[in-house]
Amino acid sequence: MPMSPARTGRPGLAHSAAGRFPLALLGMLVACGPKPATPAGVAGELRGPDGSAVPEGGIGRSIRRGHALLVATRDSLPDHVGNALRCTSCHLDEGRKPGAIPFTGVYARFPQYRSRVAAVQRLEDRINDCFERSMNGRALAFDDPAMRDIVAYFAFVSRGIAVGDSVPGQGVTLGTALAGDTVAGAAYFVTSCARCHGATGDGTTIAPPLWGPRSFNIGAGMGRLRTLTGFIHANMPFDKPGTTSEVDAVNVAAYVAAQSRPDFPGKERDWPKGDAPPDVPYRTLAKPKK
């Protein structure tokens, strides 16, 4: 019996255990996008922040499966992904890049109180938030083999980090502006972003869609202007990270955030204590959006 509470996820998406793991793909498939960078001196081998390599045996196999699921999420978990993104579309360099929402250290910071649900969540809850919002899909049961493998990878890339500790570059540094120039943002998108994400923002073979039905839904963290601004400023363009100015970052973020994307039913119940951040792009019952 699953350990997690029943979660219905996105209506209209079929759920089946059959075909869950295309094993031939798990070890070699990487979804569309630039090849993740490998830390210097690692020679292609996965290593934790303390320099440890993936161990042998069952735990090592689980870590490697978790890694494969994160870099080829849609191919490996088609019943749980409702768009064209993979986990490492946002968590860059296999979830190990500082300033790009790294997985490093996350295992050591859960359970954690989260104001969006006004409750303490386990790491599995946080992972499912991404499946339901960023991936516009369905939650995994806590005892699903895929969930266990993903958590195993999170634990591996958090080795050597004490419980509760912060790490340099965790999360993403939020932008400060609550509005941007969407006209200027559109012009910047054409000159600097369209070559990877497509002229209409619907993605290419090397970069994910930024809006439309194949992108993250409105309830995702990247749907918030300050989050998107900070991510762009620190990490984009992909081949020249950090070269986008703060002004250009907020303008292009405003342009991207203004485009249509899938809805997230139930979003109005977010932040039930009325403490929604000022850049949340939808109304909540506890504090209607002005």
Q: What does R_g of the chain's alpha carbons equal in angstroms?
A: 18
Q: What is the CATH number of domain 23-156?
A: 1.10.760.10
User: Do 147 and 155 form a contact (C-beta atoms < 8 A)?
Assistant: no
- Model confidence pLDDT, tens digit, residues 94-124: 999 999 999 999 999 999 999 999 999 999 9
Per residue in 5-16, is it b (16+ CB within 10 Å) or e — as a string? eeeebbeeeeee
- Model confidence pLDDT, tens digit, residues 260-279: 999 999 999 999 999 999 99
pLDDT band for 50, please (50, 70, 90 cuts). Answer: confident
Question: Would you list the domain boundaries of the chain?
Answer: 23-156, 173-290
Q: Among residues 22, 21, 11, which one has the least CA distance to residue 144?
A: 21
- Model confidence pLDDT, tens digit, residues 210-235: 999 999 999 999 999 999 999 999 99
* Mean pLDDT score across all residues of the chain: 86
pLDDT band for 287, please (50, 70, 90 cuts). Answer: low
> What's the CA gap between 169 and 231, in Å, rounded?
12
Give me the CATH topology for the region 173-290.
Cytochrome Bc1 Complex; Chain D, domain 2 (1.10.760)
- Model confidence pLDDT, tens digit, residues 180-211: 999 999 999 999 999 999 999 999 999 999 99
Please determine, for residue 67, whether its predicted confidence score (pLDDT) is greater than 60: yes
Q: Is the peptide bond before 111 cis (omega within 30 degrees of 0)?
A: yes
Global model pTM greater than 0.75? yes
Helix (H, G, I), strand (E, B) or coil at 51: coil
Please give the pLDDT value at position 7. Answer: 39
User: Do 175 and 249 form a contact (C-beta atoms < 8 A)?
Assistant: yes
> What's the CA gap between 50 and 36, in Å, rounded?
20
Please determine, for residue 36, whether its predicted confidence score (pLDDT) is greater than 80: no
Please determine, for residue 11, whether its predicted confidence score (pLDDT) is greater than 50: no
Contacts 24+ apart (CB under 8 A), 87-93: 87/130, 87/135, 88/31, 88/33, 88/36, 89/31, 89/33, 89/208, 90/134, 90/222, 90/231, 92/36, 92/235, 93/36, 93/37
Average pLDDT over residues 232-239: 95
Average pLDDT over residues 53-70: 96
The token duo for 19 is: 């075909």
Average pLDDT over residues 140-162: 96
Q: Among residues 138, 122, 121, which one has the least CA distance to residue 130?
A: 138
What are the residue ranges of helices labelled H in the chain?
A: 23-26, 57-71, 73-76, 92-95, 123-129, 145-156, 182-188, 194-197, 225-235, 246-257
Please determine, for residue 24, whether its predicted confidence score (pLDDT) is greater than 60: no
Cα torsion angle, 242, 243, 244, 245, sign: positive
pLDDT band for 289, please (50, 70, 90 cuts). Answer: low
Q: By percentage, how much of the chain surpasses pLDDT 70? A: 83
Please give the pLDDT value at position 288. Answer: 60
Please determine, for residue 5, whether its predicted confidence score (pLDDT) is greater than 60: no
Would 23-156 and 173-290 be classified into the same CATH topology? yes
